[in-house]
DNA sequence: TTAAAACATGTAAATATTGACATAGTGTAA
DNA sequence: TTACACTATGTCAATATTTACATGTTTTAA
């Protein structure tokens, strides 16, 4: 179903769609450049645009700030930072914590900021699969009387309730007043969205 | 946030968590076996358990049936089928369409069916990131007055409305009566879930 | 009748992502 | 004072996933 909607949307966005992809150059000497979409670089650009920070800080951000919507390990982040610096999108200053714990504080360059803005301004006509393992398992259960269903549902209620509690807590701490919302409106919107999504998920679970 | 909930859940599921992972055997002669989770094999097992089918049929199923929850291209499916057959989880019969269009109809073995049931019976204590590119872009927009927001929202409304229409259509055609629901209860549940999810997403979009 | 879409199966090359390995300094609480 | 959690940065190996390359048959609609 996803591909059908996608095909439909391609009509509207054909100038943007596939925009970033360069053809593979089989049988030629030069290295072929760029295959997949590399969204990670844009997310890093966006995070660094909020404030200069280290690879370690970015790793934590993927865990605590945007883990609902993208995940990345430090083993993916550090090489990406190196590559982005080579490409001139970011630079770093060396800094030290305590006596001698070295760290690299990265920030955007002009080129990086432009790349970020260009990405944000692009259409996003793709529906990505959710990859919810529980949902897939459920899909394969034929009978409403299957004895495994109650425990499976209960496990997910525990999981998603914990997640929802966590999101509520973040909302209360990160956005205590209107000023906080005005200062990071997009962040507020996606947290609100995540809360609504978990609330709906739980309501659906509890109904069954 | 995801990792925190995960850590919390690990207390409850520690016997299952990491269950499938075997340690890498650095510095030893034998090949190290198994790294990532390989959920694709289980999904293929589940699809083949519903009915015997070809790699081509499976590819379409990922597009039309479960594309909301997992995606896979034929270039990933055919090699996986080969591997699963080598592992004794599935077998195939050769068949022909028309005069000479060869195809391979795959079905589960006893071992494959057991593996499928074992997977379904396992806990699913992991929250996976949604990877919604639009949401990420929104996260990086600071101001509620940003001039790009209306067009971005409108684009997503179009996209998700098309998806929701498609899901409604599928619900009406696949589950016209209670008998159809009883015959594929899990399928019914996840379609219901997908519809609710898109409905909520649209309501949120339309509110902003 | 013929062109396009759909059926059908593969491989190759590249990038993406994960998990483990590896090392070292810092802050803190028992 | 010492162990543990956390800060901090990297690499390596394996698997996962995507995109393009490649080929041939069958069905369907203009």
Q: What is the pLDDT of residues A97-148, one digit of tens each?
A: 999 999 999 999 999 999 999 999 999 999 999 999 999 999 999 999 999 9
Nearest residue to D20, CA vs C1'?
A24
Asked whether residue B126 is domain-assigned, the answer is: no
Residue of B nearest to A152 (CA): B123
Look up the domain containing A50 and give its range: 2-121
Q: Do B189 and A67 touch (CB under 8 A)?
A: no
Residues A14, A57 share a domain: yes
pLDDT band at A25 (very low <50, low <70, confident <90, very high): very low
- Residue A113 near residue A46 (C-beta atoms within 8 A): no
Residue A20 forms contact with B (CB below 8 Å): no
Q: Domain boundary residue among B76, B101, B121? A: B121
**Ranges of H-type helices in chain B:** 2-13, 39-50, 55-64, 74-86, 110-121, 133-139, 149-174, 178-183, 185-207
More confident residue, B59 or A30: B59
Domain tally, chain A? 2
Residue of A nearest to B187 (CA): A139
pLDDT band at A14 (very low <50, low <70, confident <90, very high): very low
Q: Do A185 and B12 touch (CB under 8 A)?
A: no
Residues B111, B38 share a domain: yes
% of chain A residues with pLDDT over 90: 82
pLDDT, averaged in runs of 10, over chain B (208 residues): 45 36 36 68 98 98 96 98 98 97 98 98 94 97 97 97 95 96 97 98 97
Residues 132-191 of A with CB under 8 A from B: 132-144, 146, 148, 152, 155-156, 158-160, 162-163, 166-167, 170, 182-187, 189-190
Q: Do B70 and A131 touch (CB under 8 A)?
A: yes
The torsion defined by the Cα of B141, B147, B153 and B156, in degrees rounded to 10, comes to: -90
Of A129, A159, A160, the CB nearest to B69: A129
Residues A163, A106 share a domain: no
Asked whether residue A160 is domain-assigned, the answer is: yes
SS3 of chain A? CHHHHHHHHHHHHCCCCCCCCCCCCCCCCCCCCCCCCCHHHHHHHHHHHHCCECHHHHHHHHHHCCCCCCCCCHHHHHHHHHHHHHCCCEEEEEEEECCCEEEEEEEECHHHHHHHHHHHHCCCCCCCCCCCHHHHHHHCCCCCCCCCHHHHHHHHHHHHHHHHHHHHHHHHHHCCCHHHHHHCHHHHHHHHHHHHHHHHHHHHHHHC
Q: Where residue A105 sits, what CATH number does that domain have?
A: 1.10.10.10
Q: How far does the CA of A33 sit from the C1' of D28, in Å?
A: 40
Asked whether residue A11 is domain-assigned, the answer is: yes
Confirm whether any atom of chain D, the nucleic acid strand, is less than 7 Å from CB of B81. Answer: no
Residues B86, B142 share a domain: no
Residues B23, B43 share a domain: yes
Q: Domain boundary residue among A121, A153, A168? A: A121
pLDDT band at A187 (very low <50, low <70, confident <90, very high): very high
Residues of B with Cβ-Cβ distance to A190 under 8 angstroms: 135, 138-139
Q: Average pLDDT in the A169-173 region?
A: 95
Residues B35, B70 share a domain: yes
More confident residue, A36 or B60: B60
pLDDT band at A36 (very low <50, low <70, confident <90, very high): confident
Of B126, B137, B170, the CB nearest to A124: B137
Asked whether residue A80 is domain-assigned, the answer is: yes
Residues A115, A64 share a domain: yes
Residues of B with Cβ-Cβ distance to A138 under 8 angstroms: 186, 189-190
Q: What is the pLDDT of residue A32?
A: 40
Residues B165, B100 share a domain: no
Asked whether residue A88 is domain-assigned, the answer is: yes
Residues A111, A17 share a domain: yes
Confirm whether any atom of chain D, the nucleic acid strand, is less than 7 Å from CB of A102. Answer: yes
Residues of B with Cβ-Cβ distance to A196 under 8 angstroms: 200, 204
Residue of B nearest to A46 (CA): B140
Asked whether residue A126 is domain-assigned, the answer is: no
Q: Do B42 and A119 touch (CB under 8 A)?
A: no
Residues B109, B138 share a domain: no
Nucleotide nearest to A24 (CA to C1'): D20
Nearest residue to C24, CA vs C1'?
A101
pLDDT above 80 for A18: no
Residues A188, A101 share a domain: no
- Residue A85 gets the label, from left (phi > 0), alpha (psi -120 to 50) or beta, of alpha
Residue of A nearest to B13 (CA): A155
Residues 78-117 of B with CB under 8 A from A: 116
Residues B169, B108 share a domain: no
Residue B105 main-chain phi, psi, to 5 deg:
-100, 115
CB neighbours (10 Å) of residue A160? 21
Distant-in-sequence, close-in-space partners of B17: CB < 8 Å, separation ≥ 6: B10, B125
Q: Give, as ranges, the nucleotides of chain C with any atom within 7 Å of a protein CB.
A: 7-22, 24-27
Nucleotide nearest to B92 (CA to C1'): C9
Nearest residue to C12, CA vs C1'?
A26
Asked whether residue B128 is domain-assigned, the answer is: no
Q: What is the pLDDT of residue A35?
A: 57
Which residues in A133-157 are b (16+ Cβ under 10 Å) and which e? bbbbbbbbbeeeeeeebeebbebbe
Instruction: Say what angle helices B55-64 and B39-50 make with each other, to 10 degrees.
Output: 100
Residues of A with Cβ-Cβ distance to B135 under 8 angstroms: 69, 190, 193
Q: Quick one: CA dihedral B25, B27, B28, B30, positive or negative?
A: positive
* Per-residue model confidence as pLDDT tens digits over A63-100: 999 999 999 999 999 999 999 999 999 999 999 999 99
Which residues in B5-27 are b (16+ Cβ under 10 Å) and which e? bbeebeeebeeebeeeeeeeeee
Q: Domain boundary residue among B90, B121, B152? A: B121
Asked whether residue A105 is domain-assigned, the answer is: yes
């Amino acid at each position: 179903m996803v591909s059908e909607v996608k095909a439909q949307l391609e009509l509207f966005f054909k100038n943007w769609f596939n925009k970033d992809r360069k053809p593979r150059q089989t049988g030629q000497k030069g290295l072929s450049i760029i295959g997949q979409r590399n969204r990670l670089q844009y997310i890093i650009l966006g995070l660094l645009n909020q404030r200069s920070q280290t690879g370690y800080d970015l790793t934590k951000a993927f865990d605590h700030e945007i883990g609902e919507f993208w995940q990345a390990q430090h083993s993916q982040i550090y090489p990406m930072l190196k590559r982005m610096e080579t490409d001139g999108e970011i630079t770093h200053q060396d800094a030290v914590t305590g006596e001698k714990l070295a760290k690299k504080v990265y920030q955007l360059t002009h080129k990086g900021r432009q790349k970020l803005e260009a990405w944000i301004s692009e259409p996003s006509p793709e529906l990505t699969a959710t990859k919810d393992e529980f949902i897939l398992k459920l899909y394969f259960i034929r009978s409403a009387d299957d004895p495994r269903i109650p425990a499976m549902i209960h496990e997910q209620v525990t999981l998603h309730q914990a997640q929802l509690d966590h999101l509520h807590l973040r909302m209360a701490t990160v956005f205590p007043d209107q000023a906080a919302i005005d200062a990071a409106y997009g962040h507020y919107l996606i947290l609100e969205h995540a809360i609504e999504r978990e609330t709906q998920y739980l309501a659906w679970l509890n109904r069954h």
